[in-house]
């Protein structure tokens, strides 16, 4: 059986050690095994990173940018193969897999402009003969711990900016779909990055803890569930590391009475059920304002949901594929049952769904549940599957309060033709990313991604200039070059610029 091994400078296959299964979710069978590393594997990767990082940091920014340009070209040249490989392990359809890769490449495009992003500040004549300037220097060795749901995009969000800034980077992807991260690591080497600048190690909690505890790793980026994000943040910060840890979400879509319902329904169906709902920027809660809006929305939603085709990841006609594992399928179906027991009215039930001929796959059909209330556990928690819950709101203020009071604060969207309502909502809602008639408000690569509350731990967001700030340290230099006739000062007194 194929072994998915670590990619560490110096090479060599793993001998012995633990291994984990990698499934094909469309058919429910094991297609490969992944090596599960430990502290010894990580030590090898760190040693290789330490050996090359100084040289890489000293490489001028435009030469580092050229590596990013070549990496982008190689990924684009291999797009179809990467997308099919990603789909075979994750379960998302190939078109969605290509979107996963493309959104990662957009951050690589931003990293291609790193010479401009690394420019410091300069003040001439801050005092008599004194100039002050700042420079951004790499943290040293960074690490990324990434989730199963975006095995291409999120690694590129992390390592693209980190490497362009002059860091060495160690990637620990999800053990559920590790092949694309391995391939991306190999393509970075083909693009001209020195061996050791980007490495890929695999593992479970043992490897995660080794990364969090390793004294040579200076910064860690994480994406996953909120409980694990909090754990990663607390343990990493306790070890003196810079940590950004992105957690879960329960994004809401507010439907105002004046919304363009035809367009909003199309957006909702894609945002709620695309990628089987397995994305932190999915829209699993819709909030129609007013009973009339709710009834009109449901009348339009149900036919669109009924028309969705669920199939294998390689089916070009499928709107979405299976969820990632049998365990996750059971979890999603348990939440549907829980919501029903709590009083939710199931309008479309996706439990016990199987495409003909793929009875062993991990499929959940599209599910629509009405009359969900904020008191229900199924509303309070992240389901992370193809389930759309309807929470009815009597008025704008009630609709505004729902995402604002929820434990998660990742993304939110409002659908309306009223500019004042949209402006008021965007200004007041207690959520980190807002869409106005945009169902999945993931910012473009030169802005920044990050939620609030239990959706993010740490004070620096991902990609854009926030990413540059995270992966660099600022050094400020105050210099004086006297001409020999200048009056001397008292070296024991803190200098002032007056």
Residue numbers annotated as active site: 280
Q: In angstroms, rounded to a whole number, what is the distance separating the alpha carbons of residues 183 and 200? A: 10
Q: In angstroms, rounded to a whole number, what is the distance separating the alpha carbons of residues 41 and 39? A: 5
Residue labelled with tokens 């909690």: 205
Q: In angstroms, rounded to a whole number, what is the distance separating the alpha carbons of residues 6 and 14? A: 8
Q: Are 178 and 32 in contact (CB under 8 A)?
A: no
Q: Is 350 helix (H, G, I), strand (E, B) or coil?
A: coil
Q: Are 445 and 467 in contact (CB under 8 A)?
A: no
Q: In angstroms, rounded to a whole number, what is the distance separating the alpha carbons of residues 52 and 275? A: 38
In angstroms, what CA-CA distances link 458 with 206, 210, 248? 23, 20, 14
The Cβ-side half-sphere exposure at 6, using a 13 Å CA radius, reads 32
In this structure, what are the phi and psi dihedrals at residue 156, rounded to the nearest 5 degrees?
-70, -35
Q: Are 181 and 151 in contact (CB under 8 A)?
A: yes
Q: Which two tokens stand for residue 279?
A: 């994305």
Q: Is 467 helix (H, G, I), strand (E, B) or coil?
A: helix
**DSSP 8-state secondary structure symbol assigned to residue 274:** G
**DSSP 8-state secondary structure symbol assigned to residue 313:** T
Q: In angstroms, rounded to a whole number, what is the distance separating the alpha carbons of residues 121 and 177? A: 42
Listed residue (299, 234, 286) closest to 390, CA to CA: 286
Burial 22-32 (b: 16+ CB within 10 A, else e): bbbbbbbeeeb
Q: Which two tokens stand for residue 213?
A: 């505890």
Q: Are 63 and 359 in contact (CB under 8 A)?
A: no
């Amino acid at each position: 059986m194929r072994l998915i091994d670590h990619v560490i400078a110096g090479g060599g296959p793993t001998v012995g050690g633990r291994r984990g299964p990698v499934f094909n979710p469309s058919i429910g069978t094991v297609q490969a095994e992944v090596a599960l590393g430990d502290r010894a594997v990580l030590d090898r990767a760190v040693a290789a990173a330490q050996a090359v990082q100084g040289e890489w940091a000293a490489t001028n920014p435009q030469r580092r940018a050229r590596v990013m340009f070549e990496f982008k070209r190689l990924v684009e040249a291999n797009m179809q193969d990467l997308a099919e490989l990603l789909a075979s392990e994750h379960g998302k359809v190939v078109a969605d897999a290509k979107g996963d890769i493309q959104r990662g490449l957009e951050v690589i495009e931003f990293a291609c402009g790193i010479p401009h992003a690394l420019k410091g500040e300069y003040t001439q004549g801050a005092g008599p003969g004194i100039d002050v300037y700042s420079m951004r220097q790499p943290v040293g060795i960074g690490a990324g711990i990434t989730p199963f749901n975006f095995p291409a995009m999120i690694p590129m969000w992390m390592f693209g900016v980190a490497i362009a800034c002059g860091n060495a980077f160690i990637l620990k992807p999800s053990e559920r779909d590790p092949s694309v991260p391995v391939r991306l690591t190999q393509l970075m080497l083909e693009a001209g990055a020195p061996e050791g600048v980007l490495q890929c190690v695999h593992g479970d909690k043992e490897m995660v803890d080794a990364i969090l505890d390793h004294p040579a790793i200076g910064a860690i980026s994480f994406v996953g569930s909120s409980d694990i994000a909090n754990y990663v943040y607390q343990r990493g910060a306790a070890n003196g590391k810079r940590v950004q840890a992105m957690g879960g979400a329960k994004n809401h879509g507010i439907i105002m009475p004046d919304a363009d319902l035809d367009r909003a329904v199309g957006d909702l169906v894609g945002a709620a059920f695309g990628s089987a709902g397995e994305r932190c920027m999915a829209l699993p809660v819709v909030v129609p304002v007013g009973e009339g809006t709710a009834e009109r929305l449901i009348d339009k939603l149900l036919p669109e949901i009924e028309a969705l085709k669920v199939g294998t990841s390689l089916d070009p006609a499928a709107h979405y594929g299976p969820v990632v594992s049998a365990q996750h399928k059971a979890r999603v179906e348990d939440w549907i049952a829980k919501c029903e027991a709590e009083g939710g009215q199931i309008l479309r039930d996706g439990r016990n769904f199987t495409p003909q001929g793929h009875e062993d796959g991990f499929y959940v059909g599209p599910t629509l549940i009405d009359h969900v209330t904020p008191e229900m556990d199924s509303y309070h928690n992240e389901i992370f599957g193809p389930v759309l819950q309807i929470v009815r709101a009597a008025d704008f203020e009630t609709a505004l309060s729902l995402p604002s009071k929820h434990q998660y604060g990742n993304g939110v969207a409002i659908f309306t033709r009223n500019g004042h309502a949209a402006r008021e909502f965007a200004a007041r809602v207690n959520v980190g990313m807002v869409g106005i008639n945009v169902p999945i408000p993931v910012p473009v690569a030169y802005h920044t991604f990050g939620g609030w509350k239990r959706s993010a731990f740490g004070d620096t967001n991902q990609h854009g200039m926030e990413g540059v700030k995270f992966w660099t340290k600022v050094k400020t230099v105050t210099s004086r070059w006297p001409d020999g006739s200048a009056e001397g000062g008292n070296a024991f007194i803190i200098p002032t610029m007056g």
